[in-house]
Amino acid sequence: MSIDPRHTYKPSWRKPVGMFAILGLIALWAVLVGSLSGLIGGLPMVVQVVIYVFLGLVWIWVLPLKRLLAWMETGRWRSF
């Protein structure tokens, strides 16, 4: 007799909380970068592209998305 996995799985509250946290971080980062648009907008187009690409990469490296995702999956802030 096999056990139906739908009855043994208990959804974690961390995933919905983590999703809302990610949305909040995205909104906060967008407001921060958008507030710099007045300064960045006066620069040459090529420099603007470099700055916005850099700021987009900072979003990945600096903000704690990797740890937040690990917490959502495991309940620990470190995945190892």
Nearby residues of 58 by Cβ (< 8 Å), 6 or more positions away: none
Domain count, the chain: 1
Please check whether residue 43 lies inside any domain of the structure: yes
User: Residue 4 — left, alpha, or beta (φ > 0 → left; ψ -120 to 50 → alpha)?
Assistant: beta
What pTM does this model have?
A: 0.65
pLDDT, position 6 = 59
Per-position pLDDT tens, the chain of length 80: 556 555 666 768 888 999 999 899 889 888 988 898 899 999 999 999 999 999 888 877 766 677 888 888 888 776 55
9 located within any domain = no
18 and 71 in contact (C-beta within 8 Å)? yes
In a domain, 80, yes or no: no
- Look at residue 22 in the predicted model and tell me its pLDDT: 87
Assigned domain for 25 exists: yes
Flag whether 5 is in a domain. no
